[in-house]
């Protein structure tokens, strides 16, 4: 249920593409990395096509006084109930902690809860870690957990994570360090979300004292993580300082301070990396991968670029046409041209890593033997001809958000033409594009649009929940009874094997019906300058205290 809209990555929408192109031409360094060039010559300016995932960048030689990290936008708030996007989450991950911890290898382990039990399918009992200090020196108790989690259910708070609490009836304290949650119906994903923002614990006293100002620039937050909030200069930076009473010695911060600076313009960010004004940052603009090599690292991710079919009653209503469209899409070409060659063609709407919590056999079954749609224009054209949609118009909505978006849209339009449809690219402003994800009226007359969709937990169900009949982000109003039944069965099963099998079934149906067209897996990218090391690149940076591991190189 996590959407990456990406309009925020590039506020200066129109100027961005120009700036990006301009900097490639202006800033002298030639592409240094990448030996294996692409086969068909449709290679991007970046010139780098080979990459490897790095699990660990090394052990720090020593501690640091401070390092500077860039974010592509200022967080709107540090309130965890509003934290759904890269900017707030990558800061909060180091300051606030959840009941469970999401690790760099995308497994989960105990966090502020040491243990949890499931005495019956509708009850979860959490034992809270003793002796944990908040940044103001007070000690964590069950009251803090009850107050923090309950906020997600308060309509006045309007938590962006309210949906994850839809099956929760009541949260109560059942001991000084024990909290019990009563569900309305069994929900196997609920526990997973306790490793993400929905499981965040804040001091109950701080929540009631700060009221409406909680999480804003003046008050900040008071949590239990390895870094404490120090200051927030609106429009400029957020500074965190090391918390010396942190409970977990293995994640005690190597740096006394971290300064997050907000740099929206991608080229400005790249320049700041090059001049050393900034030591690092997540989400490196793909056009600069080669330029910044070898300081760019790639890590595990749960992000898939998808073309969402938002109108299932138009020419794309016939599953054969959707299959044909995917078959006619040059996905390898998209990865090379749009993402500097970094990515893998996706045969599923989730990455293989989404299956990390499933038993090995189920993981294998969930990631292999899926319906495949290899690039084959002739076959695609024949398939579309059977459906008799020749000459019909398909509207593709796009926005000049970044170069990837533009390149992918062109490729999809080309694929439409190749199977006999008439593509019409509708270029809209960034805010209108964002509205496609939230406003059914904005989607009217639009057949296709692009999204980079990541899951916030290691579970395919986080993504597949969007395809259930009537789901909020079921943008094409897709409805398949067999899919719904399999999905519901998966959510309701606590047995990992049963659940994985039901998930697999839902996935098979989705990949045959293709209400969304999977394009490619996108790894996490991060730049780390020559002064720092220790980071473990992974999408878990949205919830794991990654900055604590960074030290001197």
> What is the closest distance, in whole angstroms, from the C-beta atom of residue 7 to another protein in the complex?
6
The owner of tokens 């989607």 is 443
> What is the closest distance, in whole angstroms, from the C-beta atom of residue 514 to another protein in the complex?
22
Cα angle 82-86-90, degrees, rounded to a multiple of 5:
90
Q: Which of 11, 125, 485, 552 binds another protein (CB under 8 A)?
A: 11
Assigned token pair, 512: 């045959």
> What is the closest distance, in whole angstroms, from the C-beta atom of residue 476 to another protein in the complex?
16
DSSP 8-state symbol, 401: S
Q: Which of 143, 277, 318, 344 binds another protein (CB under 8 A)?
A: 277
Q: Which of 247, 262, 487, 544 binds another protein (CB under 8 A)?
A: 262
Closer to another protein at the Cβ: 3 or 125?
Answer: 3
Please report whether residue 386 would count as binding another protein according to CB under 8 A.
Answer: no
Q: Which of 269, 322, 331, 363 binds another protein (CB under 8 A)?
A: 269
- Residue 431 backbone dihedrals phi, psi, to 5 degrees: -70, -35
Q: Which of 236, 417, 427, 469 binds another protein (CB under 8 A)?
A: 236
Please report whether residue 275 would count as binding another protein according to CB under 8 A.
Answer: yes
Query: CA 514 to CA 464: how far, in whole Å?
Result: 12
* 552 burial via Cβ count (<10 Å: 0-12, 13-18, 19+): middle
Q: Which of 224, 267, 504, 507 binds another protein (CB under 8 A)?
A: 267
Q: For the window 137-156, what string marks contact with another protein as x by the rule CB under 8 A?
A: ------------------xx
Closer to another protein at the Cβ: 234 or 374?
Answer: 234
Positive or negative, the CA dihedral 394, 400, 404, 405 is negative
99 preceded by a cis bond (ω within 30 of 0): no
Please report whether residue 263 would count as binding another protein according to CB under 8 A.
Answer: yes
- Residue pair 66/422 in contact (Cβ under 8 Å)? The answer is no
Enumerate residues 397-436 that contact another protein by CB under 8 A: 429-432, 434-435
> What is the closest distance, in whole angstroms, from the C-beta atom of residue 333 to another protein in the complex?
28
Please report whether residue 77 would count as binding another protein according to CB under 8 A.
Answer: yes
Enumerate residues 503-522 that contact another protein by CB under 8 A: none
Enumerate residues 210-229 that contact another protein by CB under 8 A: 213, 215-218
Assigned token pair, 316: 């794309």
Assigned token pair, 125: 């009992």
Q: Identify any residues that bridge with 552 across adjacent strands, giving them in sequence order.
A: 62, 532
Enumerate residues 363-382 that contact another protein by CB under 8 A: none
- Residue 173 backbone dihedrals phi, psi, to 5 degrees: -85, 125
> What is the closest distance, in whole angstroms, from the C-beta atom of residue 444 to another protein in the complex?
11
> What is the closest distance, in whole angstroms, from the C-beta atom of residue 433 to another protein in the complex?
10
Closer to another protein at the Cβ: 156 or 250?
Answer: 156
- Residue pair 14/400 in contact (Cβ under 8 Å)? The answer is yes
- Residue 158 backbone dihedrals phi, psi, to 5 degrees: 50, 55
* End-to-end alpha carbon distance in the chain: 38
DSSP 8-state symbol, 29: P
Query: Stretches 44-52, 58-66, 159-167, 486-494: which one binds another protein (CB under 8 A)?
Result: 159-167
Closer to another protein at the Cβ: 232 or 373?
Answer: 232
Enumerate residues 453-472 that contact another protein by CB under 8 A: 471-472
> What is the closest distance, in whole angstroms, from the C-beta atom of residue 53 to another protein in the complex?
28
Query: CA 383 to CA 377: how far, in whole Å?
Result: 10
Please report whether residue 395 would count as binding another protein according to CB under 8 A.
Answer: no
Closer to another protein at the Cβ: 162 or 425?
Answer: 162
The owner of tokens 């010396």 is 244
Query: Stretches 185-193, 233-241, 380-388, 414-422: which one binds another protein (CB under 8 A)?
Result: 233-241
Please report whether residue 178 would count as binding another protein according to CB under 8 A.
Answer: no
DSSP 8-state symbol, 135: T
Contacts of 212 (CB under 8 A, 6+ apart): none
Please report whether residue 28 would count as binding another protein according to CB under 8 A.
Answer: yes
- Residue pair 503/461 in contact (Cβ under 8 Å)? The answer is yes
Q: Which of 172, 111, 175 is nearest to 147 (CA)?
A: 172
Closer to another protein at the Cβ: 381 or 432?
Answer: 432
Please report whether residue 161 would count as binding another protein according to CB under 8 A.
Answer: yes
Q: What is the DSSP string of 421-460?
A: -EEEEEE--HHHHHHTTT-HHHHTT--EEEEEEE-SSS-H
Query: CA 532 to CA 357: how far, in whole Å?
Result: 32
Please report whether residue 261 would count as binding another protein according to CB under 8 A.
Answer: yes
Total residues at interface with another protein (CB under 8 A): 69
Strands 551-552 and 200-201, sheet pairing: unpaired
Instruction: Using DSSP, state whether 487 is helix, strand or coil.
Output: helix
Hey, how many other C-beta atoms are within 10 angstroms of the C-beta on 368? 9
> What is the closest distance, in whole angstroms, from the C-beta atom of residue 73 to another protein in the complex?
7
Query: CA 392 to CA 315: how far, in whole Å?
Result: 7
Q: Which of 37, 42, 438, 469 binds another protein (CB under 8 A)?
A: 438
Residues contributing to the site for another protein (CB under 8 A): 1, 3, 5, 7-8, 11-13, 15, 18-19, 22-23, 26-28, 73-74, 76-79, 82, 84-85, 155-156, 158, 160-163, 166, 213, 215-218, 233-236, 261-265, 267-269, 271-272, 274-275, 277-278, 429-432, 434-435, 437-439, 442, 471-473
């Amino acid at each position: 249920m996590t959407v990456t809209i990406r309009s925020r990555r590039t506020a200066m929408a129109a100027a961005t593409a120009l700036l990006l192109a301009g900097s490639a031409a202006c800033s002298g360094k030639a592409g240094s990395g990448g030996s294996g060039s692409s086969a068909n010559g449709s290679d991007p300016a970046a010139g780098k096509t080979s990459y490897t995932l790095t699990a660990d960048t090394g052990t720090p030689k020593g501690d640091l006084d401070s390092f500077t990290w860039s974010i592509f936008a200022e967080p709107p708030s540090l309130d965890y109930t509003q934290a759904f996007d890269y900017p707030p989450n990558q800061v909060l991950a180091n300051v606030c902690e959840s009941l469970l911890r999401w690790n760099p290898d995308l497994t989960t382990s105990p966090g502020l809860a040491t243990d949890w039990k499931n005495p019956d399918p509708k009850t979860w009992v959490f034992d809270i870690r003793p002796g944990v200090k908040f940044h103001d020196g007070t000690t964590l108790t069950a009251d803090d957990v009850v107050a923090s989690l309950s906020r997600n259910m308060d309509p006045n708070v309007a938590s962006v994570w309210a949906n994850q609490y839809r099956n929760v009836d009541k949260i109560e304290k059942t001991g000084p360090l024990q909290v019990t949650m009563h569900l309305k119906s069994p929900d196997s994903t609920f526990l997973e979300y306790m490793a993400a923002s929905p499981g965040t614990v804040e001091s109950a006293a701080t929540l009631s004292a700060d009221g409406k100002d909680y999480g804003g620039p003046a008050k900040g937050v008071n949590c239990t993580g390895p870094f404490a909030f120090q200051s927030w200069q609106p429009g400029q930076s957020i500074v965190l300082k090391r918390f010396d009473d942190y409970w977990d010695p293995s994640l005690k911060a190597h740096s006394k301070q971290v300064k997050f600076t907000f740099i929206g313009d991608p080229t400005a960010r790249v320049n700041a990396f090059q001049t050393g004004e900034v030591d690092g940052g997540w989400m490196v603009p793909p056009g600069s991968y080669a330029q910044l090599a070898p300081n760019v690292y790639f890590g595990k991710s749960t992000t898939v670029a998808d073309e969402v079919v938002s109108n299932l009653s138009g020419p794309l209503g016939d599953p054969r046409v959707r299959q044909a469209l995917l078959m006619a899409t040059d996905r390898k070409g998209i990865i090379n041209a749009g993402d500097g060659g970094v990515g893998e063609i996706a045969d599923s709407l989730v990455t293989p890593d989404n299956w990390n919590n499933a038993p090995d056999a189920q993981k294998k079954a969930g990631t292999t033997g899926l319906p495949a749609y290899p690039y084959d224009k002739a076959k695609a054209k024949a398939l579309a001809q059977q459906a008799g949609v020749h000459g019909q118009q398909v509207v593709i909505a796009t926005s000049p958000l970044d170069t990837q978006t533009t390149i992918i849209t062109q490729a999809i339009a080309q694929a439409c033409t190749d199977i006999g449809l008439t593509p019409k690219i509708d270029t809209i402003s960034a805010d209108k594009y964002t509205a496609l994800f939230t406003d059914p009226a904005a989607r009217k007359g639009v057949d296709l649009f692009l999204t980079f969709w990541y899951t916030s937990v290691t579970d395919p169900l986080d993504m597949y929940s969007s395809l259930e009949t009537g789901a909020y982000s079921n943008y094409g109003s897709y409805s398949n009874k067999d899919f719904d039944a399999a999905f519901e069965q998966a959510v309701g099963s606590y047995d990992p094997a049963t659940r994985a099998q039901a998930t697999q079934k839902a996935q098979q149906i989705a990949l045959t019906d293709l209400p969304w067209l999977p394009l490619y897996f996108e790894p996490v990218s991060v730049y780390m300058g020559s002064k720092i090391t220790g980071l473990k690149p992974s999408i878990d940076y949205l919830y794991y205290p990654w900055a604590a591991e960074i030290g001197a190189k």
